[in-house]
A and B are shown apart, each in its own frame.
Chain A
Amino acid sequence: MGQIIQYIQSYLRTKDLTPGAAGNVFWALVYIMLVFAGLSVAVIAMNWLERKILAHMQVRLGPMRVGPHGLLQPIADALKLLLKEDIIPAEADALVFWVAPFIVVLAAFTVFVVVPFGPTHAITDMNIGILFMLGVSSLSVLGIVTAGWASNSHYPLIGALRSSAQMVSYEVAMGLAVVSAILMTSLNAEGTGTLSMIGIVQAQQAQAEWFIFKFFPLGLVAFAIFAIAMVAETNRAPFDLPEAESELTAGFHTEYSGFRWSLFFLAEYSAMIAVSSIAVTLWLGGWLRPFPALHGPSITIAHVWPPADPTAPTGALDFVLALFPGLTFLFLAGMCFYSTVRMPKHPFFRIQTIGLAGFGAALALIGLILFWPPVRDRVGDIYWFSAKVAAFMYLYIWYRGTFPRYRFDQLMKVGWKILLPIGLGVLILTATVALLQTIWHL
């Protein structure tokens, strides 16, 4: 008990530079709970955002009835799914049918063990971080395959077969892209790279460059390969053949309903977040803010800008970018207040209007707390990581709204005949350029 209090005190002390260092059991437990809660909220938010953004892309309104602008729609959906009857088809293999959604969910959530939200904000740091992440996320295909098979029905079986073929073939291209990024981590004095997620970001910090811009076209091409393969890996449009509704009704989860279906839904979205965070860690500098090497002219504003870490740079750019988390929440609060003013004035909407104003006030309060220096300096890394992942989430929705679905032979052609050769070429070129740079100092 005394130790736990010490841990908490170490976090509250402003001078402590490594609060909650990765690997500490107590902080690991705290982070597990935080990550789980954060993921659930993110999935709920994604549910609402996806429907709204897709609707606006197609010039519709999207959910508008439950709560102001349909804000409470995901909660209503979740309630509906929980109360729905959980049907197990009579001819299905009951045990496998029962286990399959749990395999998918376990695989999707376990990968977050190594996701680095910041240099100290991670559940744990493994020596084999990226390997672990790719391996465990590849386990989710087992859940999909068994779900399709256990349903004992034709559409799910075809969906499962498509899914396994697709995921196995895109894993190859994905692996090659990842290897070329890991190669870039070995460009240091000792010449040894790292597979640890935190180590990869620290390598980008040391080289003062995001790997997407490294060896200019090479990093970008590897990133593009990964970005395409990760959409295929999560079975999302335009590669959503396993659940192509025009051909297979709903693919591998046709026979699932209620709670078990919602587990597949949860797993799909958390897998999307997981692969996006791999991409962010490997190429987009993880928790590093944009322009990690630029600091701007040095400034010190008494009482407003006392850095918690005395060795931290005090550039103007550092200060401005450190205000971003708070400003984001204030912007969201402003949107809420704007919508509150525009709500219909009919008495029927009174409760909704008050609720929206309250939500805006809560967001504004969070924004103000984020300006407080000790909090501000601690959440910067988490904010930038989440912001980059959120950009990927928007891309996913954008793809879904704009791209037509691939045919299966086209999908295989893209995977094996385009992505794989380009990935091999990029790997060889990266190795060559890295060798030229380190050995002959060109």
Chain B
Amino acid sequence: MLIGGVLVITRKNAVHSALALIVTLLAQAAIYLMLYAPFVAGVQIILYAGGIMVLFLFVIMLVSIERTEKERQFNKQWLVGIVAAGALGGLFITVYSKGQSIFPDRALPIAEAQNTQVVGTMLYGQYMFAFEIASLLLLVAIIGAVVMAKKRI
């Protein structure tokens, strides 16, 4: 996953970057699997690697590669970058060192075989409202895209 992530930002060719991003996303799905979350892993593969990245590639392929290769790859905001990276690294170190007190329950609360069913029950039971709001947000995005793409409806 790390190798893929580094390749995403260092490749000059945008299509190579996109392929490295796919590797990263698949590795992320594998991490979900190792965390006993097969449903999330499956959705990750379908949505990100299968759906979104295909559209990414679709767009990137139509952009001229010669022009993008001449563009400068790194910009000059290295100070902000270092601060942000340091903050994120500090967060990771804190979580890693104090992880046991923050996430005390290390045992798996539910059996792996029941994972999908439990996710379903939670989404449509306990978190129904948040789920519906999220789908409303997506609907707004779809309508917005249609309005922007079509001048005359």
Query: Is there an interface contact between A146 and B15, defined as CB atoms closer than 8 Å?
Result: yes
- In the assembled complex, the Cα of A145 lies from the Cα of B58 at a distance in Å of 8
Asked if A187 lies at the interface with its beta carbon under 8 angstroms from chain B, I say no
Query: Is there an interface contact between A126 and B38, defined as CB atoms closer than 8 Å?
Result: yes
- In the assembled complex, the Cα of A146 lies from the Cα of B19 at a distance in Å of 9
Given contacts A128-B38, A135-B45, A135-B46, contact A165 B58 (CB under 8 A): yes
Given contacts A142-B57, A149-B15, contact A127 B112 (CB under 8 A): yes
Chain A 173-198 interface residues, beta-carbon cutoff 8 Å to B: 192-195
By a CB distance below 8 angstroms, the chain B residues around A134 are 46
By a CB distance below 8 angstroms, the chain A residues around B45 are 132, 135-136, 138-139
Q: Which one of B16, B43, B113, B114 contacts A131 once the chains associate, using CB atoms below 8 Å?
A: B43
Query: Is there an interface contact between B46 and A127, defined as CB atoms closer than 8 Å?
Result: no
By a CB distance below 8 angstroms, the chain A residues around B15 are 93, 96, 146, 149
Chain A 287-326 interface residues, beta-carbon cutoff 8 Å to B: none
B120 CB to nearest chain A CB (Å): 8
Query: Is there an interface contact between B116 and A164, defined as CB atoms closer than 8 Å?
Result: no
- In the assembled complex, the Cα of A73 lies from the Cα of B115 at a distance in Å of 49
Q: Which one of B22, B39, B114 contacts A142 once the chains associate, using CB atoms below 8 Å?
A: B22
Chain A 122-160 interface residues, beta-carbon cutoff 8 Å to B: 126-128, 131-132, 134-136, 138-139, 141-142, 145-146, 148-149, 157, 160
By a CB distance below 8 angstroms, the chain A residues around B89 are none
Q: Digit string of A266-281 for contact with B (CB within 8 Å is 1, else 0)?
A: 0000000000000000
By a CB distance below 8 angstroms, the chain A residues around B53 are 142
Asked if B117 lies at the interface with its beta carbon under 8 angstroms from chain A, I say yes
A212 CB to nearest chain B CB (Å): 24
Asked if A431 lies at the interface with its beta carbon under 8 angstroms from chain B, I say no
Query: Is there an interface contact between B58 and A164, defined as CB atoms closer than 8 Å?
Result: yes
Asked if A397 lies at the interface with its beta carbon under 8 angstroms from chain B, I say no
Asked if A29 lies at the interface with its beta carbon under 8 angstroms from chain B, I say no
- In the assembled complex, the Cα of A136 lies from the Cα of B57 at a distance in Å of 17
Asked if B54 lies at the interface with its beta carbon under 8 angstroms from chain A, I say yes
A379 CB to nearest chain B CB (Å): 28
Q: Find the B residue at minimum CB distance from A172.
A: B51
By a CB distance below 8 angstroms, the chain A residues around B112 are 127
Query: Is there an interface contact between A131 and B39, defined as CB atoms closer than 8 Å?
Result: yes
Query: Is there an interface contact between A141 and B42, defined as CB atoms closer than 8 Å?
Result: no
Asked if A168 lies at the interface with its beta carbon under 8 angstroms from chain B, I say yes
A21 CB to nearest chain B CB (Å): 14
Q: How many residues of A contact B (CB 8 A)?
A: 32
Query: Is there an interface contact between A128 and B49, defined as CB atoms closer than 8 Å?
Result: no
- In the assembled complex, the Cα of A132 lies from the Cα of B55 at a distance in Å of 20
Asked if B10 lies at the interface with its beta carbon under 8 angstroms from chain A, I say no
Asked if B13 lies at the interface with its beta carbon under 8 angstroms from chain A, I say yes
Asked if B35 lies at the interface with its beta carbon under 8 angstroms from chain A, I say no
Asked if B90 lies at the interface with its beta carbon under 8 angstroms from chain A, I say no
B126 CB to nearest chain A CB (Å): 16
Query: Is there an interface contact between A168 and B117, defined as CB atoms closer than 8 Å?
Result: no
By a CB distance below 8 angstroms, the chain B residues around A146 are 15, 19, 57
- In the assembled complex, the Cα of A341 lies from the Cα of B151 at a distance in Å of 73
Query: Is there an interface contact between A127 and B113, defined as CB atoms closer than 8 Å?
Result: yes
Query: Is there an interface contact between A138 and B51, defined as CB atoms closer than 8 Å?
Result: yes
- In the assembled complex, the Cα of A164 lies from the Cα of B50 at a distance in Å of 10
- In the assembled complex, the Cα of A148 lies from the Cα of B39 at a distance in Å of 32
Query: Is there an interface contact between A138 and B50, defined as CB atoms closer than 8 Å?
Result: yes
Q: Find the A residue at minimum CB distance from B61.
A: A149
- In the assembled complex, the Cα of A167 lies from the Cα of B13 at a distance in Å of 25
Query: Is there an interface contact between A132 and B13, defined as CB atoms closer than 8 Å?
Result: no
Count chain A CB atoms within 10 A of each CB in B45, B49, B54, B117 and give the residue with the most. Answer: B54
Q: Which one of A157, A192, A195 contacts B61 once the chains associate, using CB atoms below 8 Å?
A: A157
Query: Is there an interface contact between A135 and B116, defined as CB atoms closer than 8 Å?
Result: no
Q: Which one of A93, A96, A145, A192 contacts B54 once the chains associate, using CB atoms below 8 Å?
A: A145
By a CB distance below 8 angstroms, the chain A residues around B22 are 142
B14 CB to nearest chain A CB (Å): 11
The 8 closest A-B pairs by CB, nearest first: A138-B50, A135-B45, A131-B42, A135-B46, A128-B42, A128-B38, A149-B61, A192-B117
Given contacts A142-B53, A160-B61, A164-B57, 17 further A-B contacts (CB under 8 A): A96-B19, A127-B38, A127-B113, A128-B116, A131-B42, A131-B116, A132-B45, A134-B46, A135-B46, A135-B50, A138-B45, A138-B54, A142-B50, A145-B54, A146-B19, A149-B61, A171-B50
